[in-house]
Structure 1
Amino acid sequence: MVLAELLQAAGLPAPAAAGGAQVASVVSNSRKAVEGSVFCCIVGGSADGHDFAAQAVEKGAVCVVAQRDLGLPCQLLVEDTRAAYGALCAAFNGFPADRLKMIAVTGTNGKTTVTTLIKQVLEYTGAKVGLIGTIQNEIGEVKLPAKFTTPEPDDLHGLLANMCRAGCEYAVMEASSQALDQNRLAGVIFQVGAFTNLSQDHLDYHGTLENYFQAKAKLFAQCRQAVTNLDCPYGRRIPQLTGIPVLTCSAQGEADLTASDICQRADGVSFTLCYRGERCPVDIKMPGLFSVYNVLSVAGVCLSLGLPLAVVAKGLCHCKGVYGRAEVLYSGDFTVICDFAHTPDALQNLLETIKPFVKRRLIVLFGCAGKRDRTKRPKMANTVADFADLMVISSDNPRDEDPYVILEDTVAGVRDRGVPYHLEVDRYYAIRWAIDEAGPGDVVVLCGKGHENYQAIDTCTVYFDEHEIVKRALEERRERP
């Protein structure tokens, strides 16, 4: 594509020096720049792209998009380089989002489960669907690694373009608060956007819960329709913030879509979906009231897309569980479960679901992330202490923060609770200890990692798959006399 044509397609003015240069890529990382790149200077939390513009030009960039004059031969000055970056990536890839039915899900908890189940329900109807999310990206049945919950614009629009080429009709994606705040989804219009819930998380980035909510709410300025959870105080604010049709959901009161006759089991939950006078039974192999709320969001999105309630209900009954979400890793004389729960609210939802089905002791292993919201740490421990008979407090991506300081912050929330706890900074040995400690009737719950197969330690990412570690620990336990 010729530079002048790209800029015009993106709605940006072409510098006089643009000429007929051929564009090979649109990037914001100077290390990715090649001959023919357009380089966008993005101001980030730890680096300013303007400082690397000259390096990009040396590598062959034919245009630099900046917010201040850098004195470069072919530069385009704009007010917001993030918005320009999104528009350029969309134009370079042929505006793939315009050729797909785009669906986005935002909220503190449930995004991965909701997007995965939406994909499964749509596939049940025969549609080909793309997925962008935390665990992985998917183009139909093809699975690709995911670096971020919500990718940067170059990766995002590249993925969407590949979905178009593969014949996908829908693209379902998670919209993180950081991505929305950083305008990574600029220019993308969503057929439906869903809000699951909001509780304390990412305050190291947003500062306050209100800022966190406002970042999430930005999504709906780019949506044609919305789905929201009325049982969440923040979810009740969505209809007042948007000028678009909103489908409301509730498991407690009146709403457009409700769940009634809820019956929880150890391995799942059954209930009745009610919508516009129609009632359909649903039975899913995912336990907990939080699973009911996830299904309400899924059903709300599918109904907003025009699917009949009966079809949605049947599709939900065919859904499989989600990797690393309340996943049973072992079931014998004791049980081992892993989950991604890493906020006070998510821990409460998970543990209050499991607790009634524990025959003897509930052993909970968890940790708190380094270089993240420190105020969450004692709250997480206090929440675990509400349910656990034994706590194993360890590490969860300490990054370059002292893991012993993290443990100290965490333990501060439970010193006076009277619940026994075991401290082990090395998560590998913590898991082995918890499994060795388990006896008949116990349930061991590993919280925080879920689908993740790594630990972030110092500045390194170390391979760490709890599925494999649990399997090895169980084998070694069986081999001991």
Structure 2
Amino acid sequence: MTSPFDRIRPAATTARQVADLAVAFGLTIAPGQPADAAVTCVASDNRVIRPGDLFVALPGARAHGAQFAADAVGRGATAVLTDARGLEFAEGLGVPVLVADDPRAVLGSVAAWVLGNPADDLMTFGVTGTNGKTTTTYQLDHLLRALGWTGGLIGTVETRSGDRVIASTLTTPEAADLQALLAAMREDHVRTLAMEVSSHALAQHRVDGIVFGVAGFTNLTQDHLDFHGDFESYFATKAELFTPARARRGVVTIDDTWGERMAAEARIPVATLTTLPGKQADWTVTDVAPSGTGSAFTLTHRDGRTLRTSTSLPGAYNVANAALAVTMVLEGGCDVRDVSEALAAADGLSATVPGRMEVLATAPRVVVDFAHNTEALELALAALRPTTSGRLAVVFGATGDRDPGKRPFMGAAAVRGADVVYVTDDDPHDEDPAKVRAEVLAGASPDGAPGTVVTEAGGADSRTVEVHEVAPRADAVRAAILAAGVDDTVLVAGRGHETIQEIAGVDHVLDDRVEARAALAARTA
């Protein structure tokens, strides 16, 4: 097994002396170990070590990385960085051993130093928030390329270095992989970087060694509370991006109270953005006009600067994502006239985002989206409802071993927004899939069972919703599409671009888009 980022490393590197590294970061070279060596790159996974690498051995949940130091040295590592406990495993290998109190906390900065701080040679844009990070970074990359720059992209779906594309395994790569990737981008003459910055990445020091030129904030909703514990901790982690150690300037969408708070508590200069009528902000979205699957809109600064453009993706939340992308570029120093002309030439923000409101068919309309929490599901259904003349169906599930508190809320959101609901599996992981489905169904119907549900709106506003439980997931996708009328819309939500489903520790090939196309072919047959 190798890291996908092993294939994206700089071809040329400069040797750095271990003694200089120790001085630069206040590290101790373990006594009795060699002290004279040079390193050219950094890795924290022994399986991807190449000759000349510094192997950073981190403590793990099940094993200490230093237990693999001998293998790393055998693959060519010329030095090891670890903690006091790791020193027990790393001594006697014939290479210098550097010791840090918390090697993870210095990994990103050390990797950046060894590689000559590659982020400093890029115009960097980092996007955080619960929903919208992927779409916003794609729109950023689309606009920056339209302005004539060679772009880089790092996120949930894929990584791009100019014209090189590789699938991603993490929203934000591990620190050593990330710095090697940035150094490779520099060799590819990449000028700009649009990057998703997850809360896990901030908490785990993955983006250390980067000070973003512009940081952007989308929104904050319930997600990842299994990792952060509560909303306050989740918010505090996101807020780290808006500090001088992480970014020079920020753009914050203030359409929710968390955004308002983020703007108020940011420790760097921030520009505010809103899409809500009557709300005051530095940048305001007005005159939104749905057109086809997307919307045109006007973006205006309080000083009078203005431009009109469009997004090809449906829904008000995608207008917010598109506006954030444009605003970040403008706040990065680009002239509004240049941006307006580039957008006009590029037919607006028309980037295709894999698995994000991706339309696979039109009669019935079949859409695949990554919506995997309550608000994202609500927004996706609300975006599709106005353009659905028939019934709106949704296929979704909840992830096992992750934030169980959101499951009933997702079930309730599906019933509020759809006419037909198919509760199925997402990634069960090591949890019983039937138990996860039951917790979703508990929010979807009064008795927690499939059947017909009458919404609580009352009177003429009440609706009758069909609720089905269908597993495995491929069967649910097929059932929904085969049952749909030509005027109906089927939203397959939760997995988007993902192609692997994990069940009890076993990876199964499953791509919602492949299953949907197979069901559409069966309709034709």
Q: Which amino acid aligns with 1:434?
A: A
Using the TM superposition, give the Cα deviation of residue 443 of structure 1 relative to its aligned residue in structure 2, in angstroms.
0.6
- Residue 211 and residue 290 in structure 1: after superposition, are their counterparts in 2 closer, same or farther (change >3 A)? same
Alpha-carbon contact 2:254-2:263 (below 8 Å) kept:
no
Alpha-carbon contact 1:134-1:149 (below 8 Å) kept:
yes
Using the TM superposition, give the Cα deviation of residue 34 of structure 1 relative to its aligned residue in structure 2, in angstroms.
5.8
Q: Which amino acid aligns with 1:11?
A: F
How big is each residue's C-alpha offset from its partner over 1:285-330, in whole Å with a ceiling of 9 and x where there is no partner?
Answer: 1111101211221122111111122333444443323221111100
Using the TM superposition, give the Cα deviation of residue 41 of structure 1 relative to its aligned residue in structure 2, in angstroms.
2.9
Q: Calculate the aligned-residue CA RMSD, in Å.
A: 2.1
How big is each residue's C-alpha offset from its partner over 1:67-109, in whole Å with a ceiling of 9 and x where there is no partner?
Answer: 3253425432222211221122212322211111221000001
The SS at the match of 1:98 is helix
Question: Which of 68, 76, 81 matches 2:84?
Answer: 68
Report the counterpart of residue 323 of structure 2 in structure 1. 296
1:103 equivalent in alignment to 2:129? no
Question: Which of 5, 8, 25 matches 1:11?
Answer: 25
Using the TM superposition, give the Cα deviation of residue 3 of structure 1 relative to its aligned residue in structure 2, in angstroms.
4.1
Q: How do residues 375-386 of structure 1 correspond to structure 2 at under 5 angstroms?
A: 375-386=405-416
The SS at the match of 1:64 is strand
Using the TM superposition, give the Cα deviation of residue 357 of structure 1 relative to its aligned residue in structure 2, in angstroms.
1.7
TM-score, normalised to structure 1, is 0.94
Question: Which of 4, 26, 30 matches 2:46?
Answer: 30
Q: How do residues 135-214 of structure 1 correspond to structure 2 at under 5 angstroms?
A: 135-214=157-236
Q: Which amino acid aligns with 1:307?
A: C
Alpha-carbon contact 1:282-1:314 (below 8 Å) kept:
no
Alpha-carbon contact 1:9-1:91 (below 8 Å) kept:
no
- Residue 138 and residue 89 in structure 1: after superposition, are their counterparts in 2 closer, same or farther (change >3 A)? same
- Residue 410 and residue 425 in structure 1: after superposition, are their counterparts in 2 closer, same or farther (change >3 A)? same
How big is each residue's C-alpha offset from its partner over 1:416-451, in whole Å with a ceiling of 9 and x where there is no partner?
Answer: 243321111211111111111111311111001111
Alpha-carbon contact 1:21-1:36 (below 8 Å) kept:
no
The SS at the match of 1:413 is helix
Using the TM superposition, give the Cα deviation of residue 55 of structure 1 relative to its aligned residue in structure 2, in angstroms.
5.5
Report the Cα distance in structure 1 between the residues aligned to 2:310 and 2:69, rounded to whole angstroms.
55
Q: Which amino acid aligns with 2:322?
A: V
Report the counterpart of residue 451 of structure 1 in structure 2. 497
Alignment: residue pair count: 478
Alpha-carbon contact 2:16-2:114 (below 8 Å) kept:
no
The SS at the match of 1:296 is helix
Report the counterpart of residue 280 of structure 1 in structure 2. 307
Question: Which of 356, 359, 362 matches 1:325?
Answer: 356
- Residue 10 and residue 454 in structure 1: after superposition, are their counterparts in 2 closer, same or farther (change >3 A)? farther
Report the Cα distance in structure 1 between the residues aligned to 2:16 and 2:183, rounded to whole angstroms.
19
How big is each residue's C-alpha offset from its partner over 1:322-379, in whole Å with a ceiling of 9 and x where there is no partner?
Answer: 22111110012x2111101001010111111111221121110001111101111111
Report the counterpart of residue 227 of structure 1 in structure 2. 251
Report the counterpart of residue 379 of structure 2 in structure 1. 349
Report the counterpart of residue 420 of structure 1 in structure 2. 466
The SS at the match of 2:223 is coil
1:460 equivalent in alignment to 2:506? yes
Q: Which amino acid aligns with 1:42?
A: L
Report the Cα distance in structure 2 between the residues aligned to 1:6 and 1:403, rounded to whole angstroms.
53
Using the TM superposition, give the Cα deviation of residue 51 of structure 1 relative to its aligned residue in structure 2, in angstroms.
4.8
Task: Give 5+ residue unaligned stretches, structure 2.
Answer: 1-14, 447-452, 455-464
- Residue 6 and residue 420 in structure 1: after superposition, are their counterparts in 2 closer, same or farther (change >3 A)? farther
- Residue 9 and residue 430 in structure 1: after superposition, are their counterparts in 2 closer, same or farther (change >3 A)? farther
- Residue 339 and residue 6 in structure 1: after superposition, are their counterparts in 2 closer, same or farther (change >3 A)? farther
Q: Which amino acid aligns with 2:499?
A: N
Report the Cα distance in structure 2 between the residues aligned to 1:390 and 1:352, rounded to whole angstroms.
14
Alpha-carbon contact 2:273-2:283 (below 8 Å) kept:
yes
Q: Which amino acid aligns with 1:404?
A: A
- Residue 34 and residue 129 in structure 1: after superposition, are their counterparts in 2 closer, same or farther (change >3 A)? closer
- Residue 268 and residue 36 in structure 1: after superposition, are their counterparts in 2 closer, same or farther (change >3 A)? closer
Alpha-carbon contact 1:10-1:87 (below 8 Å) kept:
no
Using the TM superposition, give the Cα deviation of residue 151 of structure 1 relative to its aligned residue in structure 2, in angstroms.
0.2
Alpha-carbon contact 1:24-1:34 (below 8 Å) kept:
no
Q: Which stretch of structure 1 is more off in the superposition, 91-100 or 155-164?
A: 91-100
Alpha-carbon contact 2:83-2:102 (below 8 Å) kept:
yes
Q: Which stretch of structure 1 is more off in the superposition, 361-370 or 31-40?
A: 31-40
Using the TM superposition, give the Cα deviation of residue 403 of structure 1 relative to its aligned residue in structure 2, in angstroms.
0.8
Question: Which of 365, 370, 384 matches 2:400?
Answer: 370
Q: Which amino acid aligns with 2:25?
A: G
- Residue 459 and residue 314 in structure 1: after superposition, are their counterparts in 2 closer, same or farther (change >3 A)? farther
Task: Give 5+ residue unaligned stretches, structure 1.
Answer: none
Question: Which of 466, 469, 479 matches 1:433?
Answer: 479
Using the TM superposition, give the Cα deviation of residue 61 of structure 1 relative to its aligned residue in structure 2, in angstroms.
4.3
Report the Cα distance in structure 1 between the residues aligned to 2:18 and 2:306, rounded to whole angstroms.
56
Q: How do residues 252-263 of structure 1 correspond to structure 2 at under 5 angstroms?
A: 252=276, 253-263=279-289
- Residue 46 and residue 109 in structure 1: after superposition, are their counterparts in 2 closer, same or farther (change >3 A)? farther
Q: Which stretch of structure 1 is more off in the superposition, 221-230 or 139-148?
A: 139-148
Alpha-carbon contact 1:4-1:14 (below 8 Å) kept:
no
Using the TM superposition, give the Cα deviation of residue 56 of structure 1 relative to its aligned residue in structure 2, in angstroms.
4.3
Using the TM superposition, give the Cα deviation of residue 53 of structure 1 relative to its aligned residue in structure 2, in angstroms.
4.4
How big is each residue's C-alpha offset from its partner over 1:260-290, in whole Å with a ceiling of 9 and x where there is no partner?
Answer: 1122345111221111212322222111110
Alpha-carbon contact 1:3-1:19 (below 8 Å) kept:
no
Question: Which of 470, 474, 477 matches 2:523?
Answer: 477
Identical positions, percent: 36
How big is each residue's C-alpha offset from its partner over 1:154-206, in whole Å with a ceiling of 9 and x where there is no partner?
Answer: 21111111110111111111000001000111121111111110000011111
Stretches of 4+ moved more than 6 A in 1?
Answer: none
Using the TM superposition, give the Cα deviation of residue 475 of structure 1 relative to its aligned residue in structure 2, in angstroms.
1.4
Alpha-carbon contact 2:309-2:349 (below 8 Å) kept:
no
